[in-house]
Chain A
């Protein structure tokens, strides 16, 4: 079982501000790192799947970086909007099997 840590556990951010949070995971036997967004009453939705050390991916105002050697990934949200309120989950994989962190619950304050 992989030890996956996400911080902070929860976060309140003023609308328009930028924010970031962290996912830490074991660097050995790394295969891929997934980020998901899970909004209340909806299904988790994939944001990024990252495999290469130093990789950086972007989707609109959201971006993520990956450091496989030290075992961490950052997720950044620029200019937060109310619709960004959700729980953000990271999950390293060994093959196709994902181990999810407990997530960062983000609340955007209008």
Chain B
């Protein structure tokens, strides 16, 4: 079946603008994750959704970042008043959410450039 998809693949925006990044997980996957990779850095956890539970937002770097997951499927990551340090590749992943350490399936990412 289809893998994880993300849109847009590239986004260039001006400092101070808001952006929305979209993730479509694999159908049936209950767990959804957002990560980002800034230049020269590792993959940084941002937020995790599992079913109907409250999301784990512990990785969000500031209150300018928020994410929602509607209907247990599609997720949107919103960055308000973007700053240059927000420039990064934003990756979404999903997993089956079953117990035992689940393989995460990653999307192709959105490359965000803040000018």
Contact = CB atoms under 8 A, between A and B. Distances in A.
B48 A34 contact: no
Interface stretch (B61-69, B74-82, B104-112): B104-112
Interface residues of A, number: 23
A10 to B, nearest CB: 12
A31 B101 CA distance: 7
A46 B101 contact: no
Interface string A59-95: 0000000000000000000000000000001010100
A21 interface: no
Interface string B86-108: 00000101010100111111111
A49 interface: yes
Contacts, number: 55
B95 A96 contact: yes
Given A96-B31, A96-B48, A97-B45, A51 B103 contact: no
A99 interface: yes
Contacts of B45: 97-100
A89 B109 CA distance: 16
Given A43-B91, A43-B109, A97-B56, A102 B103 contact: no
Contacts of B35: 100
A99 to B, nearest CB: 7
B101 A32 contact: yes
A102 B42 contact: yes
A45 interface: yes
Nearest to A48: B103
Q: Which of A31, A44, A45, A93 has the most CB of B within 10 A?
A: A44
Given A43-B109, A46-B105, 7 more contacts: A33-B101, A34-B103, A43-B91, A43-B107, A44-B106, A93-B101, A100-B35
Interface of A: 31-34, 42-46, 49-51, 89, 91, 93, 96-103
11 contacts: A34-B103, A34-B104, A43-B3, A43-B4, A43-B106, A43-B107, A44-B43, A45-B106, A96-B31, A96-B48, A102-B42
